[in-house]
Every structure is written in C-alpha cells, then in structure tokens.
Amino acid sequence: MSQRIVQGETIAAIATAVVPQQGSVGIVRMSGQDAIAIAYTLFHAPGHQVWETHRILYGYVRHPQTKQVVDEALLLMMQAPRSYTREDVVEFHCHGGIMPVQQVLQLCIEQGARLAQAGEFTLRAFLNGRLDLTQAESIGDLVGSRSPAAAQAALAGLQGKLAVPIRQLRSTCLDILAEIEARIDFEEDLPPLDEAAVVAQLEQVLAEVTHILATADRGELLRTGLKVAIVGRPNVGKSSLLNAWSRSDRAIVTDLPGTTRDVVESQLVVGGIPVQVLDTAGIRETVDQVEKIGVERSHRAAQAADLVLLTIDASAGWTEADQEIYQQVQHRPIILVINKIDLVEEEQKNTLQSKIHNLKSKILTAAAQNQGIEDLETAILEAIHTGNLKAANLDIAINQRQSAALTQAKTSLQQVQETISQQLPLDFWTIDLRGAIQALGEITGEEVTESVLDRIFSRFCIGK
Ligand code: GDP
C-alpha cells in the first residue's frame, strides 16, 4: 500500500546505537524473503551447529567469495511469522564499535538486501498485523522515553491499553450504525429503533472518549518533560540550588553576582517525570551588556517554563528587586524558594514566611547545605498534580495525533447527539457517526492514510 516498501523485499540496517570505539555489541538486522538465504551465504557456523529458527549460532561473518572474515558474531534467525516484522528476520550480533556492524551491513547489501528506511521494520510489523498503530507509536515512545514514568506509559500502550478501549468504542459505534442503517433499509420489517438506548450508548462512548482525552496533558508532560526555570536576583543561591538538586557541578557556584551568564540546563527526574531545569542569571535591569543578555535569556526562560522557582535570600528578606522579578513572572505557576535559611534564627523563619509574599507554594532551603531539596520535589509534584494533570489517572498517555483524532471523534459524537435532539431523519445521524468511527479507526490504524503512516514512522530511527 505504501510506496515506502514492497512487501517481502529484504531490508537491512544497524539496529543498535553505534559509537566509534565504544559499545560491546552491535546488531545488524535483516527482514524479508531473502534474509535467511543471505545469512547462509555470509555466516560460517563451525562444527555441528543446527540452523534452526530462534536458536543462536556462533561463528564468523565472511565475504562469500574471498572468505575474508569481517567479524566474529552470533547469529539469530527468526522465521516468519514468529518475528518482529512477521517476516523472516535475521540478526547478526557483532562486536561493538562502528567497523564490524558497518562491514556486515555492507555485505548484506551486496547480497541483495537494501538499506531500511526509518521505522521500516516497525511499519512492516504494523502492515503485517502484528502491531496496531498505537502499539507501534508506543515503541517509538519507549525508545524516546526519558523517565521511568514515560517508559511505563509507553509500555502500557504497547500492551494495548489504549488500543483495546478504542477498538471497543469503535465497535459500539459500528453496532449503533448497523442498527440505524437497518431501519433506513428495512423500515417495515423491523421494530422501531430504540432511540433511548442509542442515546444512552452514545453518552457512554462520549464519556469514555473524554476520559481518555484527559491523558493528553500527561502524555505531553511525559514526552517533553516539565520545564522548570530557577529565577531570582544574583547571589541568592540559584546555582547552589541546582547543584544541590542535581548533585553535580554543572552550574558554577560563586560569590560574584551575575556570573551565571547563560542559562544552564539540567535534566532531572522528579517522581518519575522528566524535568528540565533552567538555571538563569538574575532577572533585573542592568547596564552590564553581557549580563543583560543573560537577563534577557532568563526572562525568556521564565516565559517558556511550565513552573518558576522564584528564589530569594532569607537573610535579606523580600527585597524590592525580588518584587520586580516577581512582577515579571507572576503570571506563571510559581514556587517561592526561600534559600539561605541557615542564616536566619529559628523564630525569624516564621515571621519571614508570614511576611513574605503570599505565594501559596513556598519552601525553605539551605542549598549550600543540601537542605530542603526533598521539600522542593514534593512542592513540584504537588504543583503538577493540582494543575492540569488531575484528571489523568489512567496509566496510558495519548500523543498529539491520538488526541487530535479523539477530539474529532468527540465533536462528531456531539453532533450526532445534536442531530438526534433536533429529531432529524436517520440518514443525518449516520453521517456524523461515520465521522466518529473514522476518527477512532485512525487511532488504531484500522482506517489510516499513507501520509499519516509516513509521518508516524519517519520519526523512528533506521533499524527500528
Ligand atoms: P546565584 O547567583 O543565585 O546562582 O547564587 P549562587 O548559587 O552562586 O550562590 C551565591 C553565594 O551564596 C555562594 O557563595 C553560595 O555558597 C552561597 N549560598 C548559596 N546557598 C546558600 C545557603 O543555603 N546558605 C548559605 N549560607 N549560603 C548559600
């Protein structure tokens, strides 16, 4: 169906990440009708090893004519349909680094395989019915996941936790459609349509669609991560905070104001969610040109952030400069970080907390002593859960494409409801119902166009 592949043609690719001089194993993978024949030509398995499906052979990959050995390797043959693509698949498990896998791949291509396109193995798995589209997308998500929670959501998708309910909803819509169409075609022979039952069923489908749609925000968060900007005037301890948090020395801690000229980024994981932390130079008016660039960047970073950690120095209290910065970021979700708490007396802390700006979320830290980091993480998780993620208590997390199709299905279903309430003829009911069925089918791939497939699979890496 797609121009991207001719079924059965043998494709080959390096399936593992390849770094010169690194990696202990590299895999070259072939799929298609000639995969096994090509493996026979290239692989020499000494002794009495049996060429059997799903059995590992030990031996050498050799040039078929010159017999020159290019690698010592293991060979795994998986005969159709018990393979990733449901075609004959062969894997050469080579030594790591770049040369062994490249030379083995080259030999496969000389013997008639062609280089696979991005995602082509998974596309074949989809076209051969081994995976539906949500599962194929989950594989891409799993490879790209940056936190345990993201990986979990991808695995849930791979296990069909999205596909199963979507298929069920589509099947209910198809049943309703059949009921209605029967009334259109054989009006006299059948009892009248149970309109109340149809309305109730539609209501249920709509509720479930809405429920699944609520996981879109979580999906977005798991895929792109939460962007957190640490802002505050110079010297309040922003870099120290990031240092304590990431327990690394990425940010330079110094006594000189304004030395964090640029935005330093760190990737952390909080409660299973990937968090990208932007440490910025203090936001303040400045005449120093270099620092000004930093200030502009930090201002932009705060704008781009999902959450702002507004950091202040406890020993200085809430200063005018803090107020200025607050005004620049106040439209963003904020956690107030009261740092250097070790420098103030115990009873001062309480007055400080009540006096300081009435931001709901505030925590006390002593970054230089690694204190308060747990409270910081708790506050971040609270901010996430009281925010737009509240409704997302499913373990799946839909992506943008799935969200768009579900929204389309929702709109169509609402239109059917509207048509029914207006008492329009049955023909009209079917139009939007078909729209909903189409949209749900696009999610699982039961109804999908070639361009959608191209868009999905081109994001994969070659060899996947
Ligand atoms: P930034 O300019 O906001 O990034 O501030 P830095 O992280 O560079 O910290 C400025 C100074 O404050 C450094 O000398 C830090 O050691 C010190 N500092 C940071 N956090 C704390 C803290 O919690 N307590 C105390 N006493 N000093 C701190």
Residues 428-456: what's their mean pLDDT? 92
The predicted-structure confidence for 380-400, as pLDDT tens digits, reads as follows 888 877 654 433 445 788 998
**352 alpha carbon to ligand 1 midpoint, in Å?**
19
Residues 23-48: what's their mean pLDDT? 96
Neighbours of 6 (CB within 10 A): 9
**368 alpha carbon to ligand 1 midpoint, in Å?**
6
**Partners of 307 in the beta sheet?**
228
**Dihedrals phi, psi of 218, to nearest 5 degrees:** -65, -40
Q: What pLDDT shows up at residue 264? A: 55
What is the residue with the minimal CA distance to atom 28 of ligand 1?
368
**381 alpha carbon to ligand 1 midpoint, in Å?**
25
Q: Are strands 89-95 and 25-31 parallel, antiparallel or unpaired?
A: antiparallel
CA 177 to centroid of chain Cα atoms: 35
What is the residue with the minimal CA distance to atom 6 of ligand 1?
237
Atom of ligand 1 nearest to the CA of 259: 2
Atom of ligand 1 nearest to the CA of 311: 3
By percentage, how much of the chain surpasses pLDDT 90? Answer: 53
**Dihedrals phi, psi of 75, to nearest 5 degrees:** -125, 130
Q: Residue 8 is encoded by which pair of tokens?
A: 């059965």
**CA 272, 276, 280, 284 torsion: positive or negative?**
negative
**339 alpha carbon to ligand 1 midpoint, in Å?**
8
- Position 51 pLDDT exceeds 70: yes
Q: Are 60 and 71 in contact (CB under 8 A)?
A: yes
Q: Are 433 and 416 in contact (CB under 8 A)?
A: yes
Please compute, for residue 44, the number of CA atoms within 13 A of its CA located in the half-sphere on the CB side: 13
**Dihedrals phi, psi of 42, to nearest 5 degrees:** -95, -25
**377 alpha carbon to ligand 1 midpoint, in Å?**
19
Please tell me the least confidently modeled range out of 178-182, 206-210, 345-349: 345-349
What is the residue with the minimal CA distance to atom 10 of ligand 1?
235
What's the predicted TM-score (pTM) here? 0.72
Please compute, for residue 222, the number of CA atoms within 13 A of its CA located in the half-sphere on the CB side: 29
Q: What pLDDT shows up at residue 279? A: 64
What is the residue with the minimal CA distance to atom 14 of ligand 1?
255
The predicted-structure confidence for 214-246, as pLDDT tens digits, reads as follows 888 778 778 777 889 998 888 899 888 988 887
Q: What pLDDT shows up at residue 193? A: 86
**87 alpha carbon to ligand 1 midpoint, in Å?**
60
What is the residue with the minimal CA distance to atom 9 of ligand 1?
237
DSSP 47: S
The predicted-structure confidence for 138-156, as pLDDT tens digits, reads as follows 999 898 887 777 888 899 9
Kindly report the three-state secondary structure assignment for every residue of 215-278.
CHHHHHHHHHCEEEEEECCCCCCHHHHHHHHHCCCCCCCCCCCCCCCCCEEEEEEECCEEEEEE
Ligand 1 pocket test target in 253, 325, 345 with most atoms within 8 Å of CB: 253
**240 alpha carbon to ligand 1 midpoint, in Å?**
6
Atom of ligand 1 nearest to the CA of 365: 23
Please tell me the least confidently modeled range out of 78-92, 276-290, 435-449: 276-290
User: Which protein residues touch ligand 1 with a CB less than 6 Å away?
Assistant: 232, 234-240, 253-255, 260, 339-340, 342-343, 366-368
